[in-house]
Structure 1
Amino acid sequence: MHRIVQFSPVIVTILMALLPIPEGLSPEAWYYLSIFVGVVVGLIVEPVPAALVGLAGVTVVALLGLVDPSPTASRAWALSGFSNSVIWLIFAAFMFALGYQKTGLGKRISLILIKYLGKNTLGLGYAIACADGILSPFMPSNTARSAGTIYPVVSNIPPMFNSTPDHDPRKIGAYLKWVGIASTCVTSSMFLTALAPNLLAVDIIHKATGLHISWGEWASVMLPAMIPLFLLTPWLAYIIYPPTQKKSPEAPHWAASELTRMGPITRKELMMLGYALLALTLWIFGKRVGVDSTMAAILVLTLMVLTRIISWEDVITNKSAWNVLVWFATLVAMASGLDKTGILQWLGALVATDLQGLPPATVALMLVILFFVLHYFFASTTAHTTALLPLVLAIAAPLMPALMLQKLALMLAASLGLMGIITPYATGPAPIWYGSGFISQARWWGLGAIFGAIYLGTMAVLTSIYI
């Protein structure tokens, strides 16, 4: 049985490839879809490291010329994920976390959090969620917000309770990590400016339907639904995936004594704090002056090395950072291939045929659900938005009145943040939180399915009421 599980990605790929090719798909597209499904199976069972699963999939596709028969074009496609800006923003976020750790600033901030909120684990969960919620309207990159700003602080808390990936992760670490990613998915849908693909989606909607969705209109529809979900998320995680350590009344006293032992804040801590504030300022206001968020992160990373907050040796030996970079880059390339091979267009045509004759409101609800669930095939919310939103709007246009189509468009765009919860690669910060090692691949997929169902249920109810 173990051998079957270990080779299941290859078995699934071969068996699927041997099936008759569906009408409307080229042989290359069908073989590509077979490999893609095999890669997804590999990410679930993880017979080898996840990064190697993605790298193997991209390599096989490129060698077989399934995306493009030209070897040069195949090579360019296979390496395209490594030029994705989110990939390098994630990489820089790992280095920020290291800077917080090496200077002691992360420990100091964590101790302050514990001192005031550490009487119970649930309180810490709400502290993480509230930090994300406060920043979300001002930071269109949830990777910068969650992975670059909040994760480095949270990562310092579990070791203080002797909770590590290898020793008692469920004590407190796994719960805090899950709250971190679950909260940012909710806040990403709460505000138009809380997720970069939200802004891309609004532009696509305007071009497709003529509807312009303002910040206020988005908030007026989404806040009534997202605020209750936001407030419930830490508690739901506490119930569904509970930490074994519930209370720690002695923690605030211990934190206060540890702060005293650390002494006054050091020069390097102040420098790290300055770099963090510089990155935060550039992430919030950078676009106004033409500074890209990824380049801002790389600038700060360079300054950290030049001023010896971290060393170049720290950068090149950070296995977790390089592992996530390879993993996510290959998955971004695999997801882009779905569009290049015509698979998404084929799926769209099938769906449009099946929806003919149904009531428009039912069609709208089904399309919101389909749009959400199809994110299992994507490693990038941006890629999902670019590939599927125009397709779904094209399917819906002849099936419903213009006003309903405009309302459906908002529901589709607003679901982009929430769908980031379903897999370890579904949104930019997910690989960071997953890469900490506190939550196993199988457990993450299970929790993603549960919380994904809750989040999708919220969107389904909102769609039914709004449309």
Structure 2
Amino acid sequence: MSTLSTDTKPQKKVLPIKGISLLLAFLALLGILMLPTPEGLPVAGHRTLAILAFAVVLWVSEAVSYPVSAVLITVLTTLLLGFGPSLEDPEKLMGTKDALTLVLSGFSNSAVILVAGALFLAAAMQSTKLDRRIALTILSKVGSRTKSILMGAILVGVALSFFVPSTTARVGAIVPIILGMVAAFGLQKDSRLAALLMIASAQAASIWNIGIKTAAAQNMVALGFMEKAFGVHITWGQWFLYAAPWSIIMSIVLYYVMLKVIPPEIESIPNGGTMVKKQLKDLGPLTQPELRLMIISITLLFLWSTEGIVHSMDTTTSTLLAVAVMLTPKIGVFSWKEAEGDIPWGTIILFAVGISLGSVLLKTKAADWMASTMFDGIGLATMSIVGIIAVLSIFNILIHLGFASATSLAAAFIPIVIALSQGLGEHTETAIGIVLIQQFVVSFGFLLPVNAPQNMLAYGTGAFTVKDFLKAGIPLTIIGYLLILLFSATYWQWIGLL
């Protein structure tokens, strides 16, 4: 009886909150639909704004899982637009068939295929344990000083970001290693050293989501929108040229900030290096699947980084080629049956629906209306480029506090930035730069554990508190923001991004 009562109490607390949040989402939808359509905004745009409000409430409150929210958004958009006036001829209904075609446009975007391919690569890394071997190899070289171990944890995040295109998977690879190290050192799981290493690993992952195009799914959201809006393709090498210097500087900042705000209780760990080397030895010799995956990954990195220089194969195609090789018997690393259980298919669905929603915001002029309504009053049109970036970045950081998914934030915010940059009358190159820089800021998940899945993964270990995370996150956010402005005024102008 006692077990039953213990199990039911949490449900009574959780279910009403989820139910209330879902009700609020529908009330937000109906509330906006009942308002008169603003002048200059098509009825389809008005209804799209209502759907966006519904989506944001779902995403912020997590009333339902992200894949379920994607299905609800798809159905509502199809019905509301399908039974509304056509964009081309307001005298006729759009029809659910045409509306559904519009709503599912995201599924045909090449960026979705790239994300799917990247998830296969991340699954292969986890399946073969190559990601763990890379992490242990780096940590085995840094020695037993706690400062060196911190540096090693950051370097693991940097190295894995090149080869593991999933932030959660990268942090997931190092979390058990850190917990094992802390336990072997005779420290508690909630010791300052554990907090130091765990927070640094999560923050390093966020920093390098910005530095590398293929490191995070949300980057593909922005690129998908930009390709449609501007007809531009940004290569892996171009992205790296734009963003990697920022991430390198922020990695150094991360090292010093972490030591300042969470100083470890000991300066050196006896036999620390020996313990890590033992874990590496326990993995055994390099297996054939690991060796093949290493060759595939290095080849893929070469293809990504030399796109437009050595060859003309785009990032998506080269990633699909790698997936095909990984799944091929004898020369691959795993079978489809082994792979499909490790792929988060819901993430792919959310990603495609997010791109679709952003595309609908642009096509129905809802993004244009929101951009003018939100930012015209503060006179963005009269500001310098750096001033515009400063205002947008502050807004971006603040609204991120409500989002647990950078992918959903990018889907909601980047179309508005595209419409704004086009409306400001800037040159196409400058408009592209403004949008791309805001996508960098979308990955600023530094403040709260709930701002990013990798933060929650680290937080779930119990190694640190929300207060600990904030102590590191506040200075990282401030310095990162100031560095965005500095780069906007100098480096990004020098290399032609702005």
> Normalising by the residue count of structure 1, what TM-score does the alignment of the two structures yield?
0.71
Determine if contact 1:98/1:310 at 8 Å carries over to the other structure.
no
Deviations 1:204-258 (A, max 9, x none): 9999xxxxxxx99x97x98987654342145556778999999865442112123
Which residue in the other structure is 1:122 paired with?
A: 150
Equivalent residue for 1:252, pick from 273, 280, 284: 273
Asked whether 1:302 is paired with 2:319, we answer no
Which residue in the other structure is 1:148 paired with?
A: 165
Cα deviation, residue 177, structure 1: 3.2
Asked whether 1:229 is paired with 2:250, we answer yes
Determine if contact 1:95/1:301 at 8 Å carries over to the other structure.
yes
CA distance in 2: counterparts of 1:434 and 1:92, whole angstroms: 20
CA distance in 1: counterparts of 2:225 and 2:22, whole angstroms: 39
Aligned pair count? Answer: 419
Which residue in the other structure is 1:291 paired with?
A: 313
Equivalent residue for 1:157, pick from 174, 186, 202: 174
Q: Which runs of 5+ in 2 are unaligned?
A: 1-15, 87-93, 181-188, 214-218, 401-405, 461-465
Which residue in the other structure is 1:191 paired with?
A: none
Deviations 1:169-228 (A, max 9, x none): 98655652332122332567xxxxx99979997999999xxxxxxx99x97x98987654
Which residue in the other structure is 2:9 paired with?
A: none
User: 1:388-467 residue pairs with structure 2 within 5 A?
Assistant: 388-389=417-418, 391-395=420-424, 412=434, 415-422=437-444, 434=454, 437-438=457-458, 455-460=480-485
Which residue in the other structure is 2:26 paired with?
A: 10
- Alpha carbons of structure 1 residues 459 and 201: separation in structure 2 relative to 1, 3 Å: farther
Which residue in the other structure is 2:301 paired with?
A: 280
CA distance in 2: counterparts of 1:235 and 1:273, whole angstroms: 32
Q: Which runs of 5+ in 1 are unaligned?
A: 133-143, 189-193, 208-214, 398-404, 425-429
CA distance in 2: counterparts of 1:203 and 1:73, whole angstroms: 19
- 1:7 is paired with a residue of what secondary structure? helix
- Alpha carbons of structure 1 residues 326 and 242: separation in structure 2 relative to 1, 3 Å: farther
Deviations 1:133-152 (A, max 9, x none): xxxxxxxxxxx847438875
CA distance in 1: counterparts of 2:228 and 2:113, whole angstroms: 25
- Alpha carbons of structure 1 residues 463 and 255: separation in structure 2 relative to 1, 3 Å: closer
Determine if contact 1:393/1:409 at 8 Å carries over to the other structure.
yes
Determine if contact 2:175/2:198 at 8 Å carries over to the other structure.
yes
Equivalent residue for 2:208, pick from 183, 187, 193: 183
CA distance in 2: counterparts of 1:324 and 1:4, whole angstroms: 25
Determine if contact 2:113/2:316 at 8 Å carries over to the other structure.
yes
CA distance in 1: counterparts of 2:223 and 2:371, whole angstroms: 22
CA distance in 2: counterparts of 1:82 and 1:199, whole angstroms: 11
- Alpha carbons of structure 1 residues 204 and 295: separation in structure 2 relative to 1, 3 Å: closer
Which residue in the other structure is 1:342 paired with?
A: 365
Determine if contact 2:21/2:57 at 8 Å carries over to the other structure.
no
CA distance in 2: counterparts of 1:72 and 1:90, whole angstroms: 27
- Alpha carbons of structure 1 residues 368 and 337: separation in structure 2 relative to 1, 3 Å: farther
Deviations 1:368-414 (A, max 9, x none): 523774696975869977774464254255xxxxxxx8997686256
Asked whether 1:331 is paired with 2:354, we answer yes
CA distance in 1: counterparts of 2:81 and 2:429, whole angstroms: 41
- Alpha carbons of structure 1 residues 453 and 410: separation in structure 2 relative to 1, 3 Å: farther
Deviations 1:423-450 (A, max 9, x none): 79xxxxx98x64994468xx8xx98996
- 2:118 is paired with a residue of what secondary structure? helix
Equivalent residue for 1:321, pick from 323, 326, 344: 344
CA distance in 2: counterparts of 1:265 and 1:201, whole angstroms: 41
- 2:141 is paired with a residue of what secondary structure? helix
- Alpha carbons of structure 1 residues 40 and 285: separation in structure 2 relative to 1, 3 Å: same
CA distance in 2: counterparts of 1:454 and 1:314, whole angstroms: 43
Which deviates further from its counterpart, 245-254 or 289-298?
245-254
- Alpha carbons of structure 1 residues 153 and 39: separation in structure 2 relative to 1, 3 Å: closer
Cα deviation, residue 92, structure 1: 2.3
Determine if contact 1:129/1:184 at 8 Å carries over to the other structure.
no
| Identical columns (%) | 17
- Alpha carbons of structure 1 residues 129 and 79: separation in structure 2 relative to 1, 3 Å: same
User: 1:15-164 residue pairs with structure 2 within 5 A?
Assistant: 15-65=31-81, 69-117=94-142, 119=144, 120=146, 122-128=150-156, 130-131=158-159, 145=162, 147-148=164-165, 154-162=171-179
Q: Which amino acid aligns with 1:415?
A: I
CA distance in 2: counterparts of 1:12 and 1:113, whole angstroms: 50
* RMSD over aligned Cα atoms: 4.8
CA distance in 1: counterparts of 2:268 and 2:128, whole angstroms: 29
CA distance in 1: counterparts of 2:358 and 2:112, whole angstroms: 14
Determine if contact 1:89/1:298 at 8 Å carries over to the other structure.
yes
Which residue in the other structure is 1:141 paired with?
A: none
Determine if contact 1:9/1:42 at 8 Å carries over to the other structure.
yes
Which residue in the other structure is 2:283 paired with?
A: 262
CA distance in 1: counterparts of 2:267 and 2:36, whole angstroms: 54
- Alpha carbons of structure 1 residues 423 and 71: separation in structure 2 relative to 1, 3 Å: farther
Deviations 1:43-84 (A, max 9, x none): 111111112112211221112226851323222222222222
CA distance in 1: counterparts of 2:162 and 2:297, whole angstroms: 11
Q: Which amino acid aligns with 1:315?
A: A
